[in-house]
Amino acid sequence: MSTNVVAEIWREGNLPAARPIDHARRVCTGTLWGLGAGVVLGLIAFPNALVGSRALYLIPAFAVVAFLLALPWLIRDKTPAAPGVDVVARVLGTDESRRMRTVGNSRRKQALMVPVVVRPVDKSADFRTVIAVHGAEQAGFAESKPGTLLPLRQTEKGYGGLANVEQASPEQEALMRSLEQRPKLLPNTAPVLPFKPQSLDRVTTGDQLEWWGGMIAGALLAAVIMGIVSLL
């Protein structure tokens, strides 16, 4: 039976950012990007908009609008992040090819997504997640085989983000010895722990509408402002 472990974990763990501040940041950032695009289009449509005294009206107007759109990012999250914890992760097998699991826009920035099942050293619940392994494009790269044990750190309790550690702790070493002797102590069927949602993630159709709607609104706003200023 074929397994698509990375796709399954990604689908279950990729939750939308749904706080009110996340919606505001998505809309405002999309609008800001649209505003920048609208400036370029506006300069093409209204080449005289920045000539002479018109620039005295146009530049402050865009500066004020850009500042207002950036306000949601000035609001800090009041809820403190839960502290992280050392974990031991075991690499899971998957039928997905390396190409299917590679993400990134260029060869130098590509990462290979590797599925793992994780046990924290503080005896909290096991979970599954994926880790990004860099350097897959380099000659001699060897992917960790299924069953390989890795000492890592859960960056924030409650989420599936993992990070490397400089050196395994004594608790991690003891747990790794235990799992080497009795692999069944860590079942591969642990539940997926979600990734921490980011405000600009576009997971749902609503997220996409907020972003692209903001882009369109920003471009139209820039065109309107420049059109008005060009008439002065």
pLDDT tens by residue, 12-27: 998 899 999 999 999 9
% of the chain exceeding 90 in pLDDT: 55
**Residue 122, exposed/middle/buried by CB under 10 A (0-12, 13-18, 19+)?**
exposed
Does residue 1 have a pLDDT over 60? Answer: no
Angle separating helix axes 54-74 and 205-230, nearest 10 degrees: 160
Average pLDDT, stretch 190-194?
93
Residue pair 160/193 in contact (Cβ under 8 Å)? The answer is yes
What pLDDT score does 224 carry? 83
More confident residue, 85 or 229: 85
Start-end of H helices in the chain = 5-13, 20-45, 54-74, 170-181, 205-230
| pLDDT confidence bin for 52, thresholds 50/70/90 | low
What pLDDT score does 138 carry? 67
User: pTM (2 decimals)?
Assistant: 0.77
